[in-house]
Amino acid sequence: MEDIEEEELLNLSLATVTDSSGGDMKRKRKRSRADHVFNPLMNSYEGCSEAKIYRLLQMREQMIKLDHKKKAAVEETGKGLHLIHLLLITATAADENNVGSALENLTELYQSVSFTGDSVQRVVAYFADGLAARLLTKKSPFYDMIMKEPTSEEEFLAFTDLYRVSPYYQLAHFTANQAILEAYEKEEDNNNSALHVIDFDVSYGFQWPSLIQSLSEKASSGNRISLRITGFGKSAEELQETESRLVSFAKGFRNLVFEFQGLLRGSKLINLRKKKNETVAVNLVFHLNTLNDSLKISDTLKSIRSLNPSIVVLAEQEGSRSPRSFLSRFMESLHYFAAMFDSLDDFLPLESSERLSIEKNHLGKEIKSMLNYDKDDANCPRYDKMETWKGRMEGHGFAGMKLSSKSLIQAKLLLKIRTHYCPLQFDGESGGGFKVFERDDGKAISLGWQDRCLITASAWHCV
């Protein structure tokens, strides 16, 4: 249905193309209609022919129609490296405002990429879409067609599928939960059997069922454990759904007293402590990168420090982007998403509907958004090296904690369960597939795919 809608919109606009065989009045009339559609673009595209834009959109539409047929042809000719090379040339042209060259290169790319081909074709197809939208700009009637957002339900299902099949999110969550559990156990004699987790991005709440279960295994009918989660979310609806999901799950554990408080992002940390001497844990899994601004990160860490928590758990996508230029953001994103798309080969066949959902409604959405943030957009995520985050934490009164051997064993076991086709890689080993390894003298655990580090998890305490 979506492809049909895109085709109708494209055909409607292509009908405005100038017919060189008509009379002068007819040409003027058709030119006027075309200018009405593309005029917002043309102010930025001096010397750029409308025909190149039409050709680009035609090739994209043909790509969508002929996805399955093109896959074999590209694999046979081994054009993977050529596609990456052409994509980089296109990104450079776009960054230099050489719109004509960028459009020509994108048109060529659309003839070779595919949303259902191999991992290289697929990731390049989404990057091509992101660049096409960037070139057309938000003023174009075709921008929204290319950047079409998934529904909240589609986004949730895509996240659920990725969470279920890949160790990416689970490794971060399980490592954080293990550190929180051990912090609770350390204070068990004095915390009145009470744990309070402050989650700065509770999202769908997928992290917490495993902690609920682990705490329940420690509790008894005569010694019930109290778990309170204060979770920050994007909307009241998301928070209500998360609360309902977690409360329903927790009802199955009668020796656990569970309570959830949802707060909208931006709410201040006031009056959060409810029980005397409770163990307080702060969860910063995939949160600080969303703040983008160094001042916001600093303010957040200062407010957390004022709570004097027993433990702060941090997990972030590994990056190395210091400068904020478009090309640096592009290269960082390409390396990361190429690894993510490639890793999906280990869990799902090419034709899998779950894989298509993950790539289109989760990873693909992130790719296109990343390439279309303005230079100073506050919503643009910031991905830095582990050493950078370490410096920020230490600069705000936190010290790294050595993660237990249980955390590493658990991470390796998770990879063994989740990895199907590619061999596992552990410390000191090289080769393909997923790998898990300790860093910073055992104070952090990282998940990598081949030679690319994907995420790093660590734990901190106040000093």
- Chain segment 214-265, per-residue pLDDT in tens: 999 988 777 899 999 999 999 999 999 999 999 999 999 999 999 999 999 8
Q: Which residue has the higher pLDDT, 127 or 70?
A: 127
Domains detected in the chain: 50-64+78-148+324-375 (no CATH), 167-322+382-419+432-462 (3.40.50.150)
Range from 177-186, 189-198, 276-285, 416-425 carrying the lowest mean pLDDT: 416-425
Mean pLDDT of the chain: 84
pLDDT greater than 70 at residue 429? no
pLDDT greater than 90 at residue 49? no
Categorize the per-residue pLDDT at 353 as very low, low, confident or very high, splitting at 50, 70 and 90.
very high
Range from 8-22, 118-132, 249-263, 296-310 carrying the lowest mean pLDDT: 8-22
pLDDT at 38: 40
pLDDT at 392: 95
Q: What is the pTM of this model?
A: 0.84
The most confident of the ranges 17-21, 23-27, 112-116, 290-294 is 112-116
Which of 287, 229, 291 lies closest to 262, judged by CA?
A: 229
pLDDT at 251: 95
pLDDT at 35: 43
Categorize the per-residue pLDDT at 420 as very low, low, confident or very high, splitting at 50, 70 and 90.
low
What value does the mean pLDDT take over residues 91-100? Answer: 94
Range from 150-164, 242-256, 375-389 carrying the lowest mean pLDDT: 375-389
